[in-house]
Amino acid sequence: MMLIRYLSQIGRYFIMLKEVFSKPTKWSMMKQLILKEIDDLIIDSLGIVSFISFFVGGVVAIQTALNLTNPLIPKYLIGFATRQSVVLEFAPTFISIIMAGKMGSFITSSIGTMRVTEQIDALEVMGVNAVNYLVFPKIIALLLYPFVISLSMFLGILGGWIAAVYGGFASSPEFITGLQEDFIPFHIAYAFIKTISFAMILATIPSFHGFYMKGGALEVGKASTVSFVWTSVVIILVNYILTQLLLS
């Protein structure tokens, strides 16, 4: 029974994706919706992303430094480890999981509230493609998500540099040598391929849970929780699959 329920949910999710791109809303209206979503989803997330990235970058640098107890191990490895951790895993994946909580619950609760207050029914009565009207602007807004992740990478490495240099763990030239050591440009491409995949997940899975929820105000809260769990699970699975395909 459980398996059938999950399969029907997955099928419904892909049907929703098809509907998102059919029968588009008028551009004059869509433009306003997209600008509002950019403000709500991207600009409102910059503060928390900046704060977390800066301090986690610092923590990665300090922990690496504290583990390099052997005097034969060069100090530049602190910069190297900070760069690898932040660029490959922390910025794209962990920030996306944090965003599944922040953006995801916001999307689910806003669409779920529209479902509960029958605003979605009103849109459908007026002949508007409600899925396109509600979900498409979120997908377009989240095309800017790689900029959020770029900021996260920059601030993570900056935080690591400040922690290493001002904590007395490494000199600035040593840290910068580590940042440049064995640099593989494809790692940046890999991080952004993951980021774009996660952006699509962040826009659509919370929207799906909000759009198809049933019940009243209490169920909006439950739907937000379920959407956060599933968004995180899918992000981690996609992360594993992409890492296996692109890096191994």
pLDDT tens-place string over residues 184-243: 889 899 999 999 999 999 999 999 988 888 887 788 888 889 999 999 999 999 999 999
Q: What pLDDT shows up at residue 150?
A: 94
Q: What pLDDT shows up at residue 170?
A: 83
What average pLDDT does the segment 114-143 reach?
Answer: 87
Could you count the other beta carbons within 10 Å of the beta carbon of residue 115?
Answer: 21
Q: What pLDDT shows up at residue 108?
A: 92
**Does residue 115 register a pLDDT over 90?**
no
Residue length, the chain?
A: 248
Query: Smallest Cα–Cα separation from 95: which of 49, 50, 64, 29?
Result: 49
Q: What pLDDT shows up at residue 30?
A: 86
| 138-187 residue pLDDT tens | 999 999 999 999 999 999 999 999 998 898 888 888 889 888 888 888 98
| 53-79 residue pLDDT tens | 999 999 999 998 888 877 777 888 888
Q: Is 30 exposed, middle or buried (0-12, 13-18, 19+ CB in 10 A)?
A: middle
Please tell me the pTM assigned to this model. Answer: 0.89
Query: Smallest Cα–Cα separation from 111: which of 205, 10, 28, 26?
Result: 205
Q: What is the DSSP letter of 144?
A: G
Q: What pLDDT shows up at residue 242?
A: 93
Residue 76 has phi, psi (to 5 degrees) of: -65, -15
Mind giving me the DSSP string for 103-116? IIHHHHHHHHHHHH
d(CA 122, CA 111): 13
Is 81 or 217 the better-scoring residue by pLDDT?
81
Contacts of 121 (CB under 8 A, 6+ apart): none
Mind giving me the DSSP string for 77-125? HHHHHHHHIIIIIIIIIIHHHHHIIIIIHHHHHHHHHHHHTTHHHHHHH
**CA 228 from chain center: how many Å?**
12
DSSP three-state, residue 128: coil
Q: What pLDDT shows up at residue 3?
A: 86
pLDDT-derived band at 51, boundaries 50, 70, 90: very high
